[in-house]
Amino acid sequence: MTHHDSLHEFLNILFSTPSEKAGALVAASMISSPLWLQSIQPVSDVAAVFAPILGCTYLSMQIGFKVWDRFIKRGL
């Protein structure tokens, strides 16, 4: 058994369920965030501009589809 195998087995014992593995991944990301956070800052700035526009577009489409289904398609 190699060192890698024993570490993998140990981690499987600590984090056995998918939710435990996801929680550990989120925690590790938060701990290491000072290392990578600045590299995604430009993407975050662009997303902050376009997210409200995309959200309004999506919501308008959902309302439009619902109105279409309810009144026009069904003939009410």
pLDDT digits (tens, 9 = 90+) for 7-66: 888 888 888 888 988 998 899 999 998 898 889 899 999 999 999 999 999 999 999 999
Q: How far apart are CA 20 and CA 7, in angstroms?
A: 17
pLDDT at position 57 is 96
**DSSP assignment letter at 75:** T
Separation in Å, CA 26 to CA 20, 31, 58, 68, 70? 10, 9, 28, 41, 42
pLDDT at position 46 is 92
Number of helical (H) and strand (E) elements in the chain, helices listed first: 3, 0
Stated pTM of the model: 0.48
